[in-house]
Amino acid sequence: MSKALVVVKREFTEFVGKRTFLVATVLGPLLMIGFFAVQFFFMSQGGGGHHTLVVLDATGRGIGAQVVAAVSAEQPAAGPRRAAEYEASVQDVEEVRAGAARADLRARVAADSLDGYLYLPAGLIDGGAAIYEGKNATNSSVTSQLRAATQQAVQGSRLADAGIDPARLGAALAPVRLSTSRIDERGEQGSAEGALIMGMLMGFAIYLMVLLYGAAIMNGVVEEKRDRIVELVMSSVRAKDLMLGKVVGIGGAGLLQMTIWVTVAALVVINGPTLAGLFGASDEMVQELAANPILPTLPFSAVLVFLTFFAGGFFLYATVYSILGAIATTAQEAQQLVFPAVVPLILGFFMMFTALENPDSTIAVVGGLIPFTSPLVMPVRVAMTGVPPLELALAIGLLFGTAYAMIWVGGKIYRIGMFATGKRASFRDVVRWIRTA
């Protein structure tokens, strides 16, 4: 068996054998389902309530009565929210007496016999502002319902003034639906939405993987130095193979955990409507969820590209972490070096958005080739436009080539850094190590 493989086996089994791995693997999906449940629970607890209010109408056009009719009718449930109940009455008033009437209503609000009142001034139809004053004026579900009801009544009056039938206007203004899909040379289809979701997923997945397992790799390297094991091991295996084994071993364990999580997540999403029903979503909500699946369908080739770049991106950043571990003398010190190391990942995010707008822009093309950003940019481009196979191959080659080169450099740094305990190596030291090792 190759030495690197022996190291891979050790790192993998040690990582998977840890209690924390088991706990995280089981708890991860539980947390995911828990979030799903909690989200629906909280949403269902929002809204609702009983509101007593008076509509003070100075328009003389019966707007107030329409508003009261609209809010008094049973409110449709918004998502899993419970509908609010209104107890509203109209009070017509002449504009000149409005001041006294409002003062009276304010006193009733203060005395708690009323939650609030809506004042509709005479100039409302010509562009004047309606005024709502009440204890619940900061309740956005109340104010938005009142605004919607008032707007509908006012617009109806305006259309009637202009001699237009509101129903016919509504029909004329019905929105046009534009469904976008890409057709490339091979006739495959992909959508911008799919690309966006894939790109975002990729970014977060790599970031999460690097955050979770990069740190484990880094700490493993630091520990090997601290526990003085590295000298013993390096008399049997080359530093490069040791690094490779560590990155592939722990990375493999990470991929296993991620696969378990993704499988559970996929099951949750596929059975989302059923689960939502279980957690108290209304029937309409369940039907809506079922009609609009969260995950868009992607062509198989795009999924393959996604997985390739995901693995490449993760391993590239994992090697960066292993190098940080080789440079640092303590885990805390290594932690301080982490942020600069993930900056290129953030840059990749920005480039990805550029690629979403125009997949053939210079930034998108260049970003799709640079190894540190290509895992985010290239899959988006592939989903949105026809990337020449040669360019795709070049990007993949650069990505994996760089990851391997990083392991080689990391090995050199590891080999020299292991005896340089005590003080952290300066950047200059590290350059010298790479040159002389």
With respect to another protein, which residue has the nearer C-beta, 17 or 340?
A: 17
Report in angstroms how near the CB of residue 282 gets to another protein at its nearest: 51
24 near another protein, rule: CB under 8 A: no
With respect to another protein, which residue has the nearer C-beta, 180 or 235?
A: 235
Closest Cα to residue 258, out of 322, 318, 323?
318
Give the 3-state secondary structure of residue 238. coil
The interface region with another protein, picked from 5-13, 50-58, 271-279, 287-295 by CB under 8 A, is: 5-13
Give the 3-state secondary structure of residue 387. coil
Report in angstroms how near the CB of residue 228 gets to another protein at its nearest: 3
228 near another protein, rule: CB under 8 A: yes
85 near another protein, rule: CB under 8 A: no
337 near another protein, rule: CB under 8 A: no
d(CA 131, CA 342): 51
Report in angstroms how near the CB of residue 22 gets to another protein at its nearest: 15
The interface region with another protein, picked from 4-12, 44-52, 166-174, 264-272 by CB under 8 A, is: 4-12
d(CA 136, CA 68): 17
Residues 401-420 that bind another protein (CB under 8 A): 415
The interface region with another protein, picked from 8-16, 281-289, 298-306, 399-407 by CB under 8 A, is: 8-16
- One-character DSSP codes across 45-88: HSB--EEEEEEEE-SSSSHHHHHHHHHHSPPPP-TTPBPPEEEE
With respect to another protein, which residue has the nearer C-beta, 9 or 158?
A: 9
256 near another protein, rule: CB under 8 A: no
With respect to another protein, which residue has the nearer C-beta, 61 or 412?
A: 412
Q: Contacts with another protein: how many residues (CB under 8 A)?
A: 22
User: Are 395 and 404 contacting, i.e. CB atoms less than 8 angstroms apart?
Assistant: no
Report in angstroms how near the CB of residue 28 gets to another protein at its nearest: 23
| CB neighbours of residue 203 within 10 Å | 20
According to CB under 8 A, which one of 73, 169, 183, 229 is a site residue for another protein? 229
According to CB under 8 A, which one of 192, 237, 260, 262 is a site residue for another protein? 237
Closest Cα to residue 203, out of 374, 403, 392, 395?
374
Phi, psi (deg, nearest 5) at residue 53: -150, 160
With respect to another protein, which residue has the nearer C-beta, 256 or 437?
A: 437
Closest Cα to residue 379, out of 195, 193, 180?
195
With respect to another protein, which residue has the nearer C-beta, 183 or 232?
A: 232
22 near another protein, rule: CB under 8 A: no
According to CB under 8 A, which one of 233, 346, 398, 434 is a site residue for another protein? 233
- Tokens 């309409």 sit on residue: 284
Please report, for residues 37, 156, 165, 190, the alpha-carbon distance to residue 173 in angstroms, rounded to integers and kept in the order given. Answer: 38, 15, 12, 30
48: left (phi over 0), alpha (psi -120 to 50) or beta: left
14 near another protein, rule: CB under 8 A: yes
In terms of Cβ atoms closer than 10 Å to its own Cβ (0-12, 13-18, 19+), residue 124 is: buried
Residues lying near another protein in the complex (CB under 8 A) are found at: 1, 3, 6-7, 9-10, 13-14, 227-238, 415, 437
